[in-house]
Every structure is written in C-alpha cells, then in structure tokens.
Amino acid sequence: MAELDKDTARLLGQYESAVFKKDVDAFMRLYDPAARVFDAWGVWSYEGAEAWQRAVEGWFTSLGSERVKVSFDDVTVWSANGLSSVSAVVTYAGQSADGQPLRAMQNRLSWVLRTVGHVPRIVHEHTSAPLGFDDQKAILVRDRGL
Amino acid sequence: MAELDKDTARLLGQYESAVFKKDVDAFMRLYDPAARVFDAWGVWSYEGAEAWQRAVEGWFTSLGSERVKVSFDDVTVWSANGLSSVSAVVTYAGQSADGQPLRAMQNRLSWVLRTVGHVPRIVHEHTSAPLGFDDQKAILVRDRGL
C-alpha cells in the first residue's frame, strides 16, 4: 500500500481511536452534519448525522465491557480540491474487557469526504459485506485466520 | 429530489441504457481503467476494469432472453473540480423477453467519479444490500410493492 496522505492517515487514526474508546462525540466529529450513511446492518440509509449518531450510540452501548479494535487494509484514496474518497477493507476485532480477542468481522468501506475549513469530514459512508450467490447471506470475513 | 446536474443525469441514463441493452462495451465505457468495484454479490473487490468486465459479461450472459430495467431513486451528488460522488437507491427490475415484469431487487449504490478530458468516469463503485441483524441475510427490497 502506498503511503497515505496526512489527512487520510489522521482520519483513519481518529476513527480507530474513537471506536476503541467508544467515544460518540469524537466519532461524530468525523462526520458532516448532512452525512448519508449506507451501513452494512439493518437499515437502508441514515440521512443526517443525528440519525447516524443514534445508531452509533446503540452500537457502542451494545458492546458492554467489550472493545473493538479497528484496522484498515487495502486503502485507496482519490482526491481533488475540496472532495476526496477513501475505500478500504476494514476489520472490526472484538476484545474482552481484559484484552482477549473475541470474534472479528470485515467490511468493505467507502467514504466521501468534503473539506470545509481545512477539515475533511465524511459526507457519505457505505459499508457492506458481499452476499453469497446461493444463500444471500453475508460473507463477513475476507481474510483467513481472523 | 433536486434536479440533477447534466453530467450525473447523462451517466445515470447511460448506465440504464447499457444494462437494458446488455451492451458490455457501452457499460464499460462508464468506468475508469483503474476502477475498484465493491459489488453486492460474491466477491470482495474487483480491482481494475478488466476484472470487473468479466463479472459484467457473466451477469449479462446469465440473463438469457430477459432484460433488466434499472431505475435510480433518492440520488445525492457531491461534486468538486475533477471529482464527484453519486449515491442512490437503485432498482433492478427483471423483464421477460416480451416485457412482462419478473422479480425486482434493490441496492444502495455509491459511485466516485473522476473527470478526465471532460468525461466523468467511475473510479469506485460500491453496491450492497443491508443485512438483517439476526440472520445476516440480505434485505433486497426497500420499497414495498416491487
């Protein structure tokens, strides 16, 4: 993977950190107020940061004492003045309160980022897992050994 | 939905037309040679137009004498100089050879477009269906009555 530009590297780090700390405020600061999120789970579209925040609060609360270690692979960036896009494979690895690895899951992730006042924020997120042709069930792990 | 800009409206029309005609060449002209496609079905990522074209040929061939009428809803566009993004809900409605409606399926669709020589082409596509929380099966229809 080519070295990432500073803005993208910072954003990925902030996302990883906010999820690990289950810090809703830090997490939501990454999103534009008008963000449209196509999340992998249950809902077709979250329109606006308020709707998305309620889902994120539900996610973090559902974790109880567990934590989620996020990592990004195969990151690709397209950028222009004021708008950029990041795509990646993201791994969500659950840990128990004492740091023991639990289950892990992978998603494809696409972000569209708009830069306002020098800060790129997510205006569009799309996460998903590919579907098995036969059973229409999600294929939730790409990499063996997870 | 706000009126679409000319470039986006043209692209959506070209996509609809290429799918309906099962015209692989017209379809692939919408994509950048380096396109990365996160398709809803079976495969984590197609890296480059060549890999994607083989999948598209398989799709069109699998249709036999049937046709697919594509339509887009809830289209949102973000654009900057040289880069833009489109997100939408896309409906793929199957028709028999004599135009009778068969099954229909919906996806969330995200495109990232890079403009080279005044022509915006898809550098990144992400299509998916949300997954049921309980059974991890795809929810393939958003709108009732399809």
CATH of the domain at B112: 3.10.450.50
Look over chain A and give the mean of its residue pLDDT values, rounded to a whole number: 95
What strands, in cross-sheet order, belong to the sheet with A83-95? A46-47, A31-38, A119-128, A101-116, A83-95, A67-80
Instruction: Return the percentage of chain A with pLDDT > 70, whole number.
Output: 99
Nearest one of B90, B137, B12, B83 to A42, comparing CA atoms = B137
Residue A133 within a domain: no
Contact B128/A123, CB-based, under 8 Å? no
Which chain B residue lies closest to A142 (C-alpha atoms)?
B44
Which strand (E) or helix (H) includes residue B128?
strand B119-128
Number of domains within chain A:
1
Residue given tokens 């229409």 in the structure block: A136
Residue B101 within a domain: yes
Residue A19 within a domain: yes
Query: How far is it, in rounded angstroms, from Cα A109 to Cα A90?
Result: 6
State the pLDDT at residue B146.
Answer: 72
Residue B146 within a domain: no
Alpha helices in chain B (DSSP H): 6-21, 24-28, 49-62
Residue B141 within a domain: no
State the pLDDT at residue A60.
Answer: 98
pLDDT tens readout for residues B39-96: 999 999 999 999 999 999 999 999 999 999 999 999 999 999 999 999 999 999 999 9
Q: Is the pLDDT of residue A145 over 80?
A: no
Residue A90 within a domain: yes
Chain A residues within 8 A (CB-CB) of chain B? Answer: 36, 38-45, 74, 76, 78-85, 87, 89, 108, 110, 112, 114, 123-124, 126, 128-133, 135-140, 142
Which chain A residue lies closest to B123 (C-alpha atoms)?
A78
Which strand (E) or helix (H) includes residue B69?
strand B67-80
Neighbours of B97 (CB within 10 A): 9
Residue B75 within a domain: yes
ipTM: 0.95
Domain that holds residue B106: 6-128
pLDDT tens readout for residues A87-134: 999 999 999 999 999 999 999 999 999 999 999 999 999 999 999 999
Say how far residue B24 (Cα) sits from the centre of its chain.
13
Instruction: Note the pTM of the prediction, 2 decimals.
Output: 0.96
State the pLDDT at residue A132.
Answer: 94
Look over chain B and give the mean of its residue pLDDT values, rounded to a whole number: 95
Residue given tokens 């830090």 in the structure block: A26
Residue A1 within a domain: no
Query: How far is it, in rounded angstroms, from Cα A107 to Cα A93?
Result: 11
